[in-house]
Amino acid sequence: MLVASAIGCTAVTPSSPSASATPDGDLPAPSLSAPATSTPAAVLPRGGPRDRPVVPAAPELAGAYRFISTPDFLNQDVADLTAGGRRTFVDDRTGEVANSTNDEYDAALDHVIGEMASHGTDDVLVAGDLVEGRWGRDDAHTGVFGPVRTEAQRLRAWRRAAAVYYPAWRARFADHGLTTYTAVGDHEIGDDPWRSPRRSRWIDFKRRHVPQFKEIYAEQVLTDADGRPRFTDRPRGPAHDTAYAVRLDADVLLVTIDVFERRGGDVHMSVDAAQLRWLRGVLRQARKDDVPWVMVQGHVPMTGDVRTRNSSHLVYEQGLRSPLWRAMVEGGVDVYLSGEVHDQTVHQRDGILEVSHGSLFYRGESSYVVGQATSRRLVLENHQFRGEIGFDDRLWTTSRQGAPGHISYPGASVVTGTLAATRTRSGGLRVDDAAGVLRPRP
């Protein structure tokens, strides 16, 4: 049971240096078959659900709405390619059957997602990067999703891969009774970069087909079983299928935005004009309805002043000077949730609490934030796992990077950051106490 009693602890988990990505977006594999994260110097003194003492909930949080936020989960292509009578193919690098999961992966995922479900919530927010998404290529020449010699073949292969990996991603949460609310990330549209100083057929292909990638993502993730969109409150224009607003609870409105705009022959970290008009209208209505908490989630942080780990450092264009930020400030947004960084940083600026957070499951660094909200109180806790990985062999993916062949999450998470905020009488947000990785930066 979540309580606010951890608020006030002062331990801080240090951030690790970020790794550099290759020009094609691939990250170097760890050199050791060992835990991917160092042991924190200190953590807030409570463990995961198996270790957590049974303590009565704080009175001000009685009946609170709860949610999980976990951007960049998985950020890998994980599915059983040998199931359901599918043909199997051989990886020409290893001579083994090409597959994108194994028993270790399945057990580790079940452990982590099971802990998320143990917090008594049905709702999981994911601000982008569900999959690896480097589809339409076949670096090991397996033919798993068909030939990729021409652009038409690449797009067909993309659709086939999406029809395998997205449903597998959704099913892992659904199997634990969890409903996901996702935003489009750079990996859903091929992974950055979309420009290269050298000629690249792959980069040219993914830059040209961003609209189709978004359409495929929305069909697979943001529709019901009958193929209809899950959400009715959506903008017109390019983000019609990928942005939406939904009332998660009487006290919480979630607005999911698409921060990737295809214009001028390139991909920009910005929202289109129609989406911005829609957002302003949603926020005006929220004020009329006196919604206690308005949260916006988008994939990238608003500035580069954030901790990062193994990130390509995408940042929203113009940041705090952008029309988007001004619209959120003027519209009374309380919290902006972003991913991309695979680490945790909190800022409180212009009345908005910006929580940039996330992790990489396949590097043994899985984490998530648990939120609790009442009409007057908002409490956040960051939960961090320590996993063990091994790259001595790799699972197959369409790109050359692959995934570690060995992964385990043997223990429960620990709480590495807490934050408690109150709705003030004037309508603003006041941070009452914070600690660890959720302590706002100056």
The SS3 call for residue 165 is helix
Asked if 30 contacts 36 with a C-beta cutoff of 8 angstroms, the reply is yes
Q: Which of 395, 439, 402 is nearest to 421 (CA)?
A: 439
Residue 55 is predicted with a pLDDT of 37
Residue 10 is predicted with a pLDDT of 32
Phi, psi angle pair for 60, to nearest 5°: -70, -10
Distance of alpha carbon 405 from alpha carbon 274, whole angstroms = 44
Burial class for 212, CB neighbours closer than 10 Å (0-12, 13-18, 19+):
middle
Q: Which of 267, 262, 258 is nearest to 240 (CA)?
A: 258
Q: Which of 318, 331, 171 is nearest to 255 (CA)?
A: 331
- Name the helix (H) or strand (E) containing 280: helix 273-288
Buried b (16+ CB within 10 A) or exposed e, 359-398: bbbbbbbbbbbbbbbbeebbbbbbbbbbbbbbbeebbbbb
- Name the helix (H) or strand (E) containing 406: strand 403-408
Residue 245 is predicted with a pLDDT of 98
pLDDT tens for residues 396-426? 999 988 889 999 999 999 999 999 999 988 8
| Domains assigned to the chain | 63-436 (3.60.21.10)
- Kindly list the averaged pLDDT for each block of 10 residues, start to end, along the chain of length 442: 34 37 37 31 39 50 93 94 76 78 96 96 97 94 92 96 96 97 97 80 91 98 95 97 97 98 91 98 97 97 92 93 98 97 96 96 96 96 96 90 92 96 88 96 90
Residue 117 is predicted with a pLDDT of 97
What is the length of the chain? Answer: 442
Residue 153 tokens, joined: 């073949």
